[in-house]
Structures are given as C-alpha cells and as structure tokens.
C-alpha cells in the first residue's frame, strides 16, 4: 500500500505556499488556500489509501482552505471528509453552519458543496482527514446534511471511542508503520457510520457493529500504552469504561485473549525496531523495555516462540546487508 509524503521543505525558497496549495489539491479535491499571516510557511502531509478510503495527516502553519462552486463544477467527486483535530484549533463553515474544533473533536463535510476551513489560532496545527465516497457511510444525503459542519465531541458518547481510535491510526501513519489495510478502510467507515447514526438518533445500531467499534477502540488504547509493563486487564477495562468480563468477551469473539493480543503487539513492535537500522545503537533489552517487556529472559523466550529465533539472531539477520523485506 503506497504512502505519499509531501513537505514544503521540497519547495524552493519563497515557493513554499504555492507548493502546498498544489499538494492539498492533488491529495484531496481542487482547493484554494491562503496563508493566515505573512512570513515563512511550513507544512507537511502523509497520505495513504485503504481500498477507496483515503487517510491523510496534515501538520501545518496557520492557513485557510476554500472549496468554491467553480472548483466543484470542474470536479465533483461526491465524497465526504471526516476531520479529526489532534492538535490546535480549527474552524469549518458549510451550508450556513459554523463549527469550532478543539483537540479530539470531529466534524464531517461534503466535497460537493462549498466550504471553508480555517486554522489560524495556533503556531501549528494537526488535522487527520478521512475521505470516503458517499456510499461508504451508508446514510441518506438528507441525514448527512444535518451533520455537516457540526462539532462532534471526542470526549462524550461514541465519540470518545472513535476519536482515540482515529488518533492511533494517525500516529501509526506518521511513524511510517504499515497500519492500514483494505479491511481497515471498511472498519473505519462502519465505525463512522455508527457514530453518525448515534448523533442523528436514527434508532438501534447493529450490536455486532457496536462490538467491533468497542474492540477497535480498546485495541487502539492498548496500542498507545504498550510501553507500560504492568498493563493489566483491570487497567484496560477501567480506562475504557467497561467491565473486565466484557473486555474478555470482546477478545474471545476474536479467538484470542486481551493478554495474548497485547503480548503479540509488543513482540511485533520489538521485531520492527530490531530490524530498524536507525535503532542499532539500542540493545535488545532496551528495545524490549520500550515495549513493556523489561525482563530480557522472558523477552527472549517469547520472541523465539513467536518468530523461531532469538531477538539477537533476528536482528543480525534483518540488518545483514542485502536482506530485503525485513
């Protein structure tokens, strides 16, 4: 799966903003933009696709973005964009409605109608954008019309599940980890559809969809805390506002346990870092500790059981000149 990285550092002096205007138009849909202030401008984005769903993390200096009727007439792709605000404050206007976005908040907007985005209150901001075809969300246009340019809190209701899950995907993308698969694109749009249905009070949601949403959120939370060696089921359940019994049931439905899944994620994190030449200055024990595996003997046994060799042997093999696909 191809990941695109674009940065204004690639542009010549004085051409940074023109470069950025072209970059966001080619990544999303045709857009116009303007800096919020004079002076140096820096921005970068990381973008990838999972099936027909696009995920893009943007980090930039303050600026404004506009989608005009003329641009829509030239290229109306019929997509919705869901924006998560990981850092900074944003503002969106569409269809006569305005919304302010603070860290953790989400919103949705329609590329087939004019809109304005403004990020000008902070020296730098981040926004994570999921762009998907209309049909992916499975909701009538009339229903979606009620949601565009509204603030969906990432601190209450199902938003408190969706927001950290999307933030985890953004973090993995920024770190260059292969986090996205075609199946994940479907999972994310299903999760967003569930969130929007709750917001619109459209009635009951499929229990399996709710279970999957909760599992994804729990897994995202665990992923952010794998460096903690004392990460217990009780701690996971408490942090995610569920009972330990329900936590066990979530993972049992996937044919595993919360402990086994967490251990596998830790070992996989160790495996990736052992194969990373830029971390060659760190010993095996230090890498294990970064993933909550602080006992070298236990790390070695578990790693051998999962990958068929010791961590030290794996590193020597992965970093051998000429080895491909580590």
Looking at every residue in the chain, the average pLDDT score rounds to: 88
List every span in the chain annotated with CATH 2.60.120.10: 3-224
List every span in the chain annotated with CATH 1.10.10.60: 228-326
What is the C-alpha separation between 151 and 36, in angstroms, rounded?
A: 22
Locate tokens 């930039």: which residue?
60
Using alpha carbons, select from 215, 133, 198 the residue that is nearest to residue 159: 198
Using alpha carbons, select from 226, 224, 221 the residue that is nearest to residue 290: 226
- Within 10 angstroms of residue 266's Cβ, the number of other Cβ atoms is 23
Calculate mean pLDDT across residues 186-192: 85
Give the gyration radius of the chain's Cα atoms.
Answer: 22
Using alpha carbons, select from 231, 230, 226 the residue that is nearest to residue 267: 226
pLDDT tens per residue across span 207-225: 776 787 788 778 878 888 8
Which of 1.10.10.60, 3.40.50.1220, 3.40.640.10, 3.40.50.2000 would CATH assign to domain 228-326?
A: 1.10.10.60
Q: What is the CATH number of domain 3-224?
A: 2.60.120.10
pLDDT tens per residue across span 263-273: 999 999 999 89
β-bridge mates for residue 87, sequence order:
126
What is residue 36's three-state secondary structure?
A: coil
Order the strands of the 63-67 sheet from edge to edge.
32-35, 63-67, 115-119, 90-94, 97-101
User: Cβ distance 46 to 11 under 8 Å?
Assistant: no
pLDDT tens per residue across span 295-314: 999 999 999 999 999 999 99
């Amino acid at each position: 799966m191809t990941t695109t990285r674009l940065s204004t550092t690639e542009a010549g002096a004085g051409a940074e903003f023109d470069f950025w205007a072209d970059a966001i138009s080619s990544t999303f849909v045709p857009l116009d933009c303007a800096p919020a202030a004079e002076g140096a401008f820096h921005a970068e984005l990381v973008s990838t696709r999972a099936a027909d769903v696009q995920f893009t993390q943007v980090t930039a200096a303050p600026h404004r973005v506009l989608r005009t009727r003329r641009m829509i007439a030239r290229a109306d792709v019929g997509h919705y964009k869901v924006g998560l605000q990981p850092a900074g404050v944003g503002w969106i206007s569409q269809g006569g409605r305005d919304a302010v976005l603070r860290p953790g908040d989400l919103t949705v907007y329609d590329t087939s109608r004019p809109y304005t985005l403004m990020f000008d209150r902070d020296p730098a901001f981040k926004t994570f954008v999921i762009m998907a075809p209309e049909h992916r969300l499975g909701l009538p246009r009339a229903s979606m019309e009620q949601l565009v340019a509204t603030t969906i809190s990432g601190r209450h209701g199902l938003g408190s599940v969706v927001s950290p899950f999307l933030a985890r995907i953004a973090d993995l993308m920024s770190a260059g980890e292969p986090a996205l698969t075609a199946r994940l694109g479907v999972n994310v749009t299903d999760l967003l559809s569930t969130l929007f249905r709750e917001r619109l009070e459209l009635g009951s949601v499929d229990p399996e969809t709710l279970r999957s949403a909760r599992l994804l959120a729990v897994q995202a939370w665990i992923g952010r805390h794998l460096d903690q060696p004392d990460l217990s089921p009780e701690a996971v359940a408490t942090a995610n506002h569920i009972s330990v019994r329900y936590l066990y049931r979530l993972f049992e439905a996937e044919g595993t346990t919360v402990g086994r899944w967490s251990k596998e994620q830790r070992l996989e994190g160790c495996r990736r870092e052992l194969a990373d030449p830029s971390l060659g200055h760190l010993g095996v024990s230090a890498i294990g500790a970064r993933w909550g595996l602080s006992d070298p003997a236990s790390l070695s046994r578990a790693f051998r059981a999962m990958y068929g060799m010791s961590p030290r042997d794996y590193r020597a093999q992965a970093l051998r000149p000429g080895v491909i696909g580590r």
